[in-house]
Amino acid sequence: MRLDTPIRLVALELPNRAFLAPLAATSDIPFRRICQTLGAGLTYVEMLSAEAVLRRNPRTMEMMARHRDERILGVQVTGSTPEQVARAIAFLDAEGFDAIDVNMGCPVRKIVGAGWGSAFLCDPERITRTMAAGRDATARPFSAKVRIGFTRAEQNVVEVTARIAAAGADMVTIHGRTRDEDYGTAADLEAIARGLRSARIAAGERRVVCVGNGDVFDSESAYRMLDVTTADAVMVSRGALGNPWIFRDILAGRSLPVTLGEWAEVVGTHLALHEETYAGKTIAPILARKHLRWYARGFPGVKRLRDRFGYVESMDEARSLLREFVAGLPASTERDELRESRGSDPKYDMDRRLDRGTEAGAAVASD
């Protein structure tokens, strides 16, 4: 099976099997559109708090915005009780999202402390009740994203995915780590395989789309995920940060070179989309900083640019830094991802060490 082939999610025809994860504080309109342009077959609005959705929290309503060019778009939600999550799902259904996912895997401390995200893994019965209530609330493609367990000693992915499938989910995505594991631990593909096998058995004759997630950084690792886990599709998370070309590579089945000129064009386009989305907002350059820092790798002398990108005060300043850097290298220079460690990820600092960076987390903090 190839990842560039279409796949059907109930009535939703997806153009390929390479999906972008709903990345907290990252999966906004500009980032989604860049990834869609480069081939992502399914993208999501980042994780939302069911409570914030039901309150019509202004920030949450802004995050639910959809650009007219986004032909297919999913949304992800998490919450405390089956009833709360189901009510939020009914609202999101009415808003016209093409697919709805329940987050049962977010590891951020305050999310888990509120009983959301990975906290579901500690209460399998709540998983069943939440998925059943959610299934009743929408006829749209409905899914859940989980981890293989709360701790390494308490892996329960086989039970969890069976419950999700038996409750009527159309898709299940498994991230191959436990809640307490960081990126220093490799994603456990065998555990993903066990969980997906369990989901298929529980679904019986009904089709459930099975998705593997974790350590997908290029075409090779995407196909390894596919081969080891027997997944139907892969979901890309960190591998897309500063590297939306990963979708093009996955669909091509090989890593293709990115020249300095191609890199600058995509970064420039991302800046333009960012400015369009956040027009007139003083926070625009602040929100762009993390993306710029993620883009700034793989070229000689790029560390200084990355440091400077972390302090930009305007979009014009960001463009000026980009032009200055590009002018200093031959246009034919190719990006070399191996120049930098893939284990180095500022998003980890944002989400886990600093315990911030999620809209749902902000909702908890404001209560």
Was domain 7-255+348-366 assigned CATH 3.20.20.70?
yes
pLDDT tens for each residue of 315-324: 999 999 999 9
What DSSP string runs through 177-191?
Answer: EETT--TTSPP-HHH
The count of other CB atoms within 10 Å of the CB of residue 234 is 24
Token pair listed for 143: 């899914």
171: CB partners within 8 A, 6+ apart: 9, 99, 101, 141, 142, 143, 208, 209, 210, 211
Q: Which residue from 134, 203, 210 is spatially nearest to 171, judged by alpha carbons?
A: 210
Which tokens in the block code for residue 277? 């989305």
pLDDT score of 346: 52
The pLDDT tens digits for 254-283 are 999 999 999 999 999 999 999 999 998 999
Of 35, 106, 122, 210, which residue is the catalytic one? 106
Task: Report the CATH fold assignment for 260-334.
Answer: 1.10.1200
Q: Kindly state the tokens that stand for 125.
A: 């019965």
Q: Model confidence over 197-214: pLDDT tens digits?
A: 999 999 999 999 999 999
User: Does residue 362 register a pLDDT over 60?
Assistant: no
> What's the first-to-final CA gap in the chain, in angstroms?
47
Q: Does 225 score more than 60 pLDDT? A: yes
pLDDT: is 140 or 1 the higher one?
Answer: 140
pLDDT for the residue 338: 60
Read off the pTM: 0.93
Check residues 99 and 336 and name the one with the higher pLDDT: 99
CA-based max dimension of the chain:
59
Residue 106 designated active-site: yes
Is the per-residue pLDDT at 365 higher than 50? Answer: no
Task: Name the β-bridge partners of 19.
Answer: 42, 235
The residues of the chain that CATH labels 1.10.1200 are: 260-334
Q: Where in the chain is the domain with CATH 3.20.20.70?
A: 7-255+348-366
Question: Which residues neighbour 50 within 8 Å (Cβ) at sequence distance 6 or greater?
Answer: 77, 78, 79, 80, 84, 85, 87, 88
Average model confidence (pLDDT) for the chain? 93
Pair 271, 27: CB distance under 8 Å: no
